[in-house]
Amino acid sequence: MRRVLGCLVTLLSLMSLVGCGSNNKPSHPRTFREIDDERRALPALYVTVKGKTSIAPGDSLPFSDKETHDICFPAYYCLNPNCPAKDQRKDGHPFVFGHVDPLLRVGPNGELSQIELRQGTDVSKERQRLGGYDVPTCPECWKTRNRSSEKEADRQKYQNWVKPYTLPETTQRIKELDAEEVVWNEYLIKLKNRPLPEGTEKETKK
């Protein structure tokens, strides 16, 4: 409830900057690109193969930990009501897991690259052979699934249950950035629709 009230206060404060019937610019204006840059740089949760979590700017790309050289993958969580790990929580987060790609390796300088495969190798099958998945998949649900007889509808259901995990503070900041964009959209619409100074239209027609 406190978080909802906080978001409403933020939205009302931002909207008040536009003013009723005025063309006042929002204070401390930022471009939409600047807002988008902040949105993409917001903190995100990452998970290693061993389950260790870390927080880094969220650009949805895996990276290697500078100290351990473990690969950190973007975090996901499972909404399956019967997920075996639904009651597991760690560090205040629900059970989270990474979209692990076992075909990635860490270079001597910490850079990531894909392991070399023989020509003609089926990349998807090789990834699955090494314990990875082509799409984000809950590892705990995977253990209980009968993949040999699983229907396509059930396979799609499991896939839909898996969602990207967003940190609570990032969720809150996204709402504030959305509100900031609303204010700017309203301001630009008012600016576009405001009456032209007297005589401007006639001069344009000449």
Strand 93-94 relative to strand 104-106: parallel, antiparallel, unpaired? unpaired
Grouping H, G, I as helix, E, B as strand and the rest as coil, residue 176 is helix
CA distance 2 to 9: 11
What pLDDT band is residue 44 in, cutting at 50, 70 and 90? very high
- Check pLDDT > 50 for residue 13: no
Other beta carbons within 10 angstroms of residue 198's beta carbon come to 7
- If phi > 0 it is left, if psi is from -120 to 50 it is alpha, else beta; for residue 167 that is beta
Weakest mean pLDDT among 32-36, 79-83, 189-193: 189-193
Residue 20 has pLDDT above 60, yes or no: no
Instruction: Report strand pairing: 93-94 vs 96-98.
Output: unpaired
Gyration radius of the chain over CA positions = 24
* Between 183 and 64, the higher pLDDT residue: 64
Is 9's pLDDT higher than 50?
Answer: no
Q: What is the pLDDT of residues 79-101, one digit of tens each?
A: 999 999 988 877 667 889 999 99
- Structural element, H or E, at residue 18: helix 2-18
